[in-house]
C-alpha cells in the first residue's frame, strides 16, 4: 500500500506530537541550532514543510542525521512547537524503511580499535539515533 505525501505528513504530526500550526515563524529554533550549518533544512523549515504536507524531500535528506538531539530548539521555541520532535519523527520514519539505517554493527570494531576511549554510551546512542 502506498502512502501519499500528505498521509506521511499526518503520521509525522501524530508520532512527533508536535502542533506545527502553532509556529509563528520567528526562526528562534534555527538561530539557536548548533547544527545549523550542517543541515540542508533548518528546524523552522521542518516545521513549516510538515505543516504544508511537503515531507518527501525531508525524508530523503541525509543531512537530517546531523541534528544532535540537543533540545535547544525545543526549549527555546516561544510557541511550544518542539521542532526536534518533528526532526526525530522524520528520522525514525526514514530509518524504518528498508536500507534506512545509517549505522551498522559491523562499523563498531573498527571504531573502537581506532579509539579505545569511545564510551559505550556513544555506541548505544548511535544505534538508537542512526538506525532502527
Partner 1 sequence: MTYTYYPGCTLKTKAQDLDYYGRESLKALGITLEEPDEWQCCGAVYPIARDEIATKLSAVRALAAARDNASPLITLCSACHHVLTRVNDDMRRDENVRTKANNYLKLDVPYEGETEVIHYLQLLRDKIGFENIAKAVKNPLKGRKIGAYYGCLLLRPSKVMRFDDPENPHIIEDFIKALGATPVIYGMRNECCGGYVTLKDEAQAAENTNRIIRNAASKGAEELITACPLCMYNLRKHSDGTIKISYITELLYDALGLREELGDAPEACETADGSAAGCACGRTEKAE
> What residues make contact with partner 1 under the rule CB under 8 A?
14-17, 34-35, 38, 65-66, 68-72, 74-75, 82, 84-85, 88-89, 92, 102-103, 111, 115, 117-126, 128-130
Cβ atoms of 44 and 30 within 8 Å: the answer is yes
First to last CA, the chain: 21
State the DSSP code for 100: -
Q: Residue 15 binds what, of partner 1, ligand SF4, none (CB under 5 to 8 Å, by partner type)?
A: partner 1
**Number of residues forming the site for ligand SF4 (CB under 6 A):** 30
Nearest-angstrom CA–CA distance, 48 and 14: 15
What is the distance between the alpha carbons of residues 119 and 62, in angstroms, rounded to a whole number? 25
Contact 65, 131 (CB under 8 A): no
Q: How far is the CB of 89 from partner 1 (least distance, A)?
A: 5
75 binds, among partner 1, ligand SF4, none (CB under 5 to 8 A by kind): partner 1
Q: Which does 104 bind (CB under 5 to 8 A by kind): partner 1, ligand SF4, none?
A: none
Beta carbon of residue 56, minimum distance to ligand SF4 (angstroms, whole number): 20
Amino acid at each position: 500500500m502506498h502512502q501519499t505525501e500528505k498521509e506521511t505528513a499526518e503520521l509525522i504530526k501524530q508520532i512527533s506530537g508536535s502542533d506545527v500550526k502553532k509556529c509563528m515563524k520567528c526562526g528562534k529554533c534555527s538561530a539557536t541550532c548548533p547544527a545549523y550549518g550542517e543541515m540542508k533544512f533548518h528546524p523552522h523549515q521542518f516545521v513549516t514543510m510538515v505543516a504544508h504536507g511537503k515531507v518527501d524531500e525531508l525524508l530523503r535528506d541525509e543531512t537530517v542525521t546531523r541534528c544532535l538531539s540537543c533540545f535547544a530548539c525545543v526549549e527555546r521555541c516561544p510557541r511550544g512547537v518542539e521542532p526536534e520532535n518533528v526532526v526525530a519523527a522524520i528520522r525514525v520514519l526514514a530509518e524504518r524503511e528498508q536500507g534506512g539505517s545509517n549505522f551498522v554493527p559491523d562499523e563498531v570494531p573498527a571504531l573502537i580499535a581506532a579509539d579505545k576511549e569511545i564510551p559505550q554510551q556513544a555506541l548505544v546512542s548511535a544505534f538508537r539515533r542512526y538506525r532502527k
